Amino acid sequence: MKGDVLEMVKRANPVEQERADAWAQTDAAARIRRQIEDETIAVELGKADSAPRTRRLSRGIRIAGLAAALLLVGGGIAGAAVVLFGRPAPEGVKRDLRGLYAGLPADIRLNPDVQNARSVAATDTSTLYYAELRDGGYCTEIVTGSRPRGANCTTSAQVAEIPIGVTVPTSEPQSPSTPVSFGGNVNASDATTLAIRYADGTEDPIPFGEGHFYVFDVPESKLAIVHRGGFELIARDASGTIVAHGVVPPDFDQVEPDSNQPIFVSTFSDHSDFTKVLGIEGQVDVDHTASLELVYPDGTTVDIPLRSNGTYRYDIPADRQDDLYPDPGELIARDREGHVLARTRVASVAYWRARERSGS
């Protein structure tokens, strides 16, 4: 078995034989051999019909009877790691994926292929799981250890618009030492490498898993700088030219009002029914604003109290929580004379999802 595993590693990423032999003596290689011998690794590489649509498969090998995925990555053996992926998603992940948008009307639910959900990228501690959408998009969830971190979906229309998709799950108060893991997909078709660039200008490579999916755990030595300064993701082509670029700001767990948005609005809903809006909150960032009003689709108007800093929150009465679907309402900011300074639509999650599906 030891010889078979070594041959698989060599075939997965051809390197000089003596360097491969040296790597085979490391603890990491021994751990992988034990996993394969115990038949605890599930899945295969190189099976085109199991790949996400429009994604390129990494080179690999099908292993009869075991369905194991082995890919040697990194800058030669010295910095290499073996990435394992292709395993069926555990029940907790399937449950999260199945529950996505469960409160939406049936005709606009995304309905990921949960039955065939599987891992597409992995590190020593984190795994990115994938489920295909019928429109060519996908849903993913990052699991750190055994803990699912929250699923999300990217439609085919969004894939076309986002060169580098990234999700940074957070579930606890952030401190300079809080672990940071993130993952996603590079949608730029000519990208061959991906790297994280820290605020100090240094970079670390991020290996691709299946196709252009990836997951990455920020090294402990870089956590403080990431929490303080965020990071960039840079995709390059075979010549080293940057083909896609994205910025993840610091305090990435916080949603800040967009300074280009005169009225920032966030809705909150009961996950059991996304056609309902239980309340709204946000901030008005327009000089001389004296009042804010919510106009329902039927023309009914309600005054929304503004705090001195321009923020607001309004709990929608139970008998009006269905009113912002299928049509949107509007928030209108006025000055003391009643002149309109800014306006923006406000609607349920189901309304916006229906627009995404229709492409409007």
Query: For 73-104, what is each residue's pLDDT tens digit?
Result: 333 333 334 445 678 999 999 988 888 767 77
pLDDT score at 270: 66
Tokens of 339: 């002149």
Tokens of 95: 């449950």
Same domain assignment for residues 47 and 99: no
Range with the largest mean pLDDT of 17-31, 106-120, 172-186, 278-292: 278-292
Q: How far apart are CA 350 and CA 276, in angstroms?
A: 8
Residue predicted with more confidence, 139 or 271: 139
Residue where a domain stops, chosen among 222, 248, 274: 248
**Has residue 253 been placed in a domain?**
no
Residue predicted with more confidence, 13 or 87: 87
Same domain assignment for residues 107 and 68: no
Q: Is 358 left (phi over 0), alpha (psi -120 to 50) or beta?
A: alpha
Q: Sorting pLDDT into bands at 50, 70 and 90, what band is 115?
A: very high
Instruction: Report yes or no: 257 and 283 within 8 Å, Cβ to Cβ.
Output: yes
Residue where a domain stops, chosen among 83, 116, 147: 83
pLDDT score at 236: 95
pLDDT score at 24: 57
Q: Sorting pLDDT into bands at 50, 70 and 90, what band is 251?
A: low
pLDDT at 297 over 80: yes
Residue predicted with more confidence, 175 or 66: 175
Same domain assignment for residues 163 and 74: no
Residue predicted with more confidence, 174 or 136: 136
Q: Sorting pLDDT into bands at 50, 70 and 90, what band is 171?
A: low
Q: What's the N-to-C CA distance of the chain in angstroms?
A: 56
Domains held by the chain: number: 3
Residue predicted with more confidence, 160 or 308: 308
Tokens of 176: 């300079």
pLDDT at 212 over 70: yes
Query: How confident is the model over 61-77, as a mean pLDDT?
Result: 31
Instruction: Report yes or no: 348 and 325 within 8 Å, Cβ to Cβ.
Output: yes
Q: How far apart are CA 279 and CA 299, in angstroms?
A: 18
pLDDT score at 246: 85
3-class SS of residue 165: strand
pLDDT score at 350: 82
Q: Which amino acid is at 156?
A: S
pLDDT score at 64: 24
Same domain assignment for residues 303 and 181: no
**Has residue 254 been placed in a domain?**
no
Residue predicted with more confidence, 48 or 308: 308
pLDDT score at 17: 47
Same domain assignment for residues 96 and 244: yes
3-class SS of residue 229: helix
Q: Sorting pLDDT into bands at 50, 70 and 90, what band is 36?
A: very low
pLDDT score at 107: 73
pLDDT score at 79: 36
Tokens of 248: 């993840």
Tokens of 238: 């075979």
pLDDT score at 229: 85
Tokens of 99: 């529950």
pLDDT score at 53: 31
- The whole domain housing 294 covers 263-358
pLDDT score at 14: 42
**Has residue 255 been placed in a domain?**
no
Same domain assignment for residues 104 and 230: yes
Residue where a domain stops, chosen among 203, 220, 248: 248
pLDDT at 148 over 90: no
Instruction: Report yes or no: 228 and 252 within 8 Å, Cβ to Cβ.
Output: no
Residue predicted with more confidence, 198 or 3: 198
Instruction: For the chain, give the mean pLDDT.
Output: 76
Query: How confident is the model over 330-354, as a mean pLDDT?
Result: 91
**Has residue 258 been placed in a domain?**
no
